[in-house]
Structure 1
Amino acid sequence: MASLERHQQIIDIVQQKGYESVSNLCKTMKVSAVTIRKDLKFLEKAGKLYRTHGGASNTNPFITDRPVNEKETMQTAEKKAIGKKAATYITQDDSIIIASGTTMLALAREIQPQQKLIVITAALQVASELIKHNNVDIMQLGGIVRQSSSSVVGRYAEEILQDFFCSKLYLGVDGIDFEFGITTSNSMEAQLNKSMLGVVQRVIVLADHTKFGKRGFSRICGLQDIDEIITDKGISPAIVDQCQRLGIKITIAD
């Protein structure tokens, strides 16, 4: 197969699937991984696709910060499904941390506690949503309020966390990259999230399918530092396969 023909076939596959791995492209094209990686490098420079860890994507992996009111209008059905599934993990007399983000707000809206629940949160909207439940004790972290996310960040929030330990952390992210890890677009938020990781038994990432293959400015942690990802049915089967090969538990919400 000539290189021009191979390049066009790679472009067509990536455009159709959204993501394709190097290994699958090798099988399809019957060429080596070295050749495919050279092809992907050439096509990325030509603006035809984006290289990711172990493959290629048709969407830009680099993200920018967006206002929370804009994010709320995006993937609303997916976030609701993810939030509903995540809420089923809450047990009797549980204590949890809910980080910031619109998927965290979707989770808060799905929580209907039958028994006592303690919630520590950085998100003002999450606290506002949960305050209507008489059997929910809310600890609102204090600090600098980020207008773009309606959540707090900073040293005061990080220091408060040192006095507590919770069963699980629900973490919202801006990007999940198999090489770079779990990311957000704000460095102070990433630092607070790192502090949250240290005071919980389980870390559960809530992320719709558009977050995979994306990179935010600031790294929160590696994929090995999380216990589970809850996502929606729009996720690519290729990404699910890659998660499973890496030993990452991934749950798809209906």
Structure 2
Amino acid sequence: MRKAGSIASTILQALAKEVAPGRTTGEIDQLAAELMREHDCKSAFLGYRGFPGYTCISVNEEVVHGIGGPRKIMPGDIVKIDVGITKSGFIGDNATTVAAGDIPLETKRLLAVTEQSLYEAIKHARAGRKLADLCGSVEAFTKPHGFTIVREFVGHGVGRRLHEEPQVPNYRPPGKSPTLEAGMTLAIEPMVNAGVPSVRILDDGWTVITEDRKPSAHFEHTVLVTSGDPEILTWRPREALPEMLGLPPW
């Protein structure tokens, strides 16, 4: 899992650097295919339930599961890249949101809040903690900033398969909550909207968009639960701007 996570992070960081006005989402997806070959790994997404891309690339109001294609990235777009790979039978899964040039102040806030909510959740990835506390921390952090949580799509356990138990929603789930145990690996992935929380799926059967067409942000890490500090298996430098939230520099 550490090896798979490290490769997934390396590929994601390389793709994020390629986000720029004029590039197409299809070009970035093809670059992902080349990088996966270089690292002797396979896409965990390609062919999954028929998904046609090597990565998920979603722009602006597209929340998740966007398909790379001829769409050109425009100045001021925000681009979500989700990379999942399989290496030696294990999965590494991570995502980030990248700005293409200058973006409005409120969109910068959206990215900063969403990324920080991921790290708020990671704090709870310790043996003996309740999964519900981890999940609930995302909405508890984002709601005071005026943003909303996507409820129809959630994080998940991850290991030899892309989607394993337990589900990891970004809100406190009802009912009895499982206790986290050392050795669990979770894909924690806040999906946060600037407007209403409701979403719908486009006619391609995959791309999820916000109902009101306002922007959405998505950040994800694969995290190992330990008896001490959580271990981020897809570690990368943080991208968003902590000063937007009155936080010290990362």
TM-score class, shorter: under 0.3
Compare relative contact order (CA 8 Å, sep 6+) and give the higher one, 1 or 2.
Answer: 2
Identify, as 1 or 2, the structure richer in helix. Answer: 1
**Given the two structures, how large is their TM-score scaled by the length of structure 2?**
0.27
